[in-house]
A and B are shown apart, each in its own frame.
Chain A
Amino acid sequence: MTNKDWPLWEIFIRSKQGLNHKHVGSLRAADAEMAVENARDVYTRRSEGISIWVIESNNIHASDSSDADMLFEPSNTKVYRHPTFYDVPDGISHM
């Protein structure tokens, strides 16, 4: 894992006045401005949105209740079990 990789952002689009923002996917960006612009280019190419929210994926706190009674490990913190959400100190290889 390299720190030069841009962080992952989750994208939410409100396609019409009166509707909620809907999660449409994710993308990589170096900062919030770029994330919004990239989201506009990727997710509103066919004018599918009038409002864009971007959130760095590791800032989302999640609770997935569906499997709550099935799990033997808690997973109600991050949206994905993603390696880059967990900071590994420099000098540790093979991780």
Chain B
Amino acid sequence: MTKNEALFNYTLRLGDDSLILGQRLAEWCGHGPILEEDIAITNISLDLIGQATNLLNYAALIENKDRNADNIAFLRLEKEYCNILLVEQLNGDFGDTMMRQFLFDAFRKPLFEMLQFSKDKQLAAIAEKSLKETKYHLKHSSEWIIRLGDGTEESHQRVQNSLTNLWRYTDELFFTDESDTILSGLGIIPDFSKIKEVWYANVTAVFEQATLQIPANNWQFEGGRKGRHSEHMGYLLAELQYMQRAYPNMEW
């Protein structure tokens, strides 16, 4: 595998995570638990779509095959998307959404913190810009986990269930393969084990404040990075891709 192939894979993964999670959050529009939270969630969605655009544009540049962010975002087959399974899970209730968000944000913050020192200038720049947004997302989601975990009996039960259900998708955050090995060797991406350390320390600290328990059973799912998705992905893509498939090759 060449460096560029590895870099393309890596950027595509980060971009797909942002795209799919941004898409999911957009579904909350008009349905949030209170108007202020509707604004907060759509704000996060907007940030993620922005990140996806930057990352997928860069991926297209690296690939150098005349694609752009839009072709890549809208016209691949399901097995060509390499987002992690966590981000494509259904929104569920507000607790499910915040738990998914928190587990994800707690990963992206240390990731971008380290990635802003990448030997690849463009990736470093994207990381620096995304870090500001991610810090805010993490503050928002961790505060909600604490409020819900240590709120009422009902909220505690609900968000504990969310954690129990979503924990099985967390290992995949740290999935690495040949692409990652090549890039970390070249100082382009950080060592994932370092990110995992920070992530784990942060989530356990927040769960303690939230009086939540990490499930004892650490059975984990993966597949997204390799293009093997959950049943939800098909429906998500049907909505995402509809206009470009129904009206091919047009400008909007």
- Would B39 and A41 count as touching, CB distance under 8 A? yes
Please name all residues of chain B whose beta carbon is closer than 8 Å to the beta carbon of A60 when the two chains form the complex. Answer: none
**A37: Cβ under 8 A from any B Cβ:** yes
**B143: Cβ under 8 A from any A Cβ:** yes
CA distance A42 to B42 in the complex (A): 11
**Quick one: closest B residue to A40, CB to CB?**
B136
Interface residues of B in 21-74 (CB under 8 A from A): 34-36, 39-40, 43
- Would B143 and A34 count as touching, CB distance under 8 A? yes
**A21: Cβ under 8 A from any B Cβ:** no
Please name all residues of chain B whose beta carbon is closer than 8 Å to the beta carbon of A62 when the two chains form the complex. Answer: none
- Would B40 and A41 count as touching, CB distance under 8 A? yes
**A55: Cβ under 8 A from any B Cβ:** no
- Would A41 and B43 count as touching, CB distance under 8 A? yes
Please name all residues of chain A whose beta carbon is closer than 8 Å to the beta carbon of B35 when the two chains form the complex. Answer: 28
CA distance A42 to B43 in the complex (A): 10
Indicate which residue in A6, A30, A34, A38 contacts B39 across the interface (CB closer than 8 Å): A38
- Would B139 and A30 count as touching, CB distance under 8 A? no
Indicate which residue in A28, A30, A38 contacts B40 across the interface (CB closer than 8 Å): A38
B86 CB, min distance to chain A CBs, angstroms = 24
Please name all residues of chain B whose beta carbon is closer than 8 Å to the beta carbon of A37 when the two chains form the complex. Answer: 40, 136, 139-140, 143
Interface 0/1 of A3-35, CB less than 8 Å to B: 000100000000000000000000111100110
Q: Mark B residues whose CB is within 8 Å of A.
A: 34-36, 39-40, 43, 136, 139-140, 143, 147
Q: Mark A residues whose CB is within 8 Å of B.
A: 6, 27-30, 33-34, 37-38, 41-42, 45
Would you give 19 A-B contacts (Cβ < 8 Å), ordered by A? Answer: A6-B34, A27-B36, A28-B34, A28-B35, A28-B36, A30-B147, A37-B136, A37-B139, A37-B140, A37-B143, A38-B36, A38-B39, A38-B40, A41-B36, A41-B40, A41-B43, A42-B36, A42-B39, A45-B43
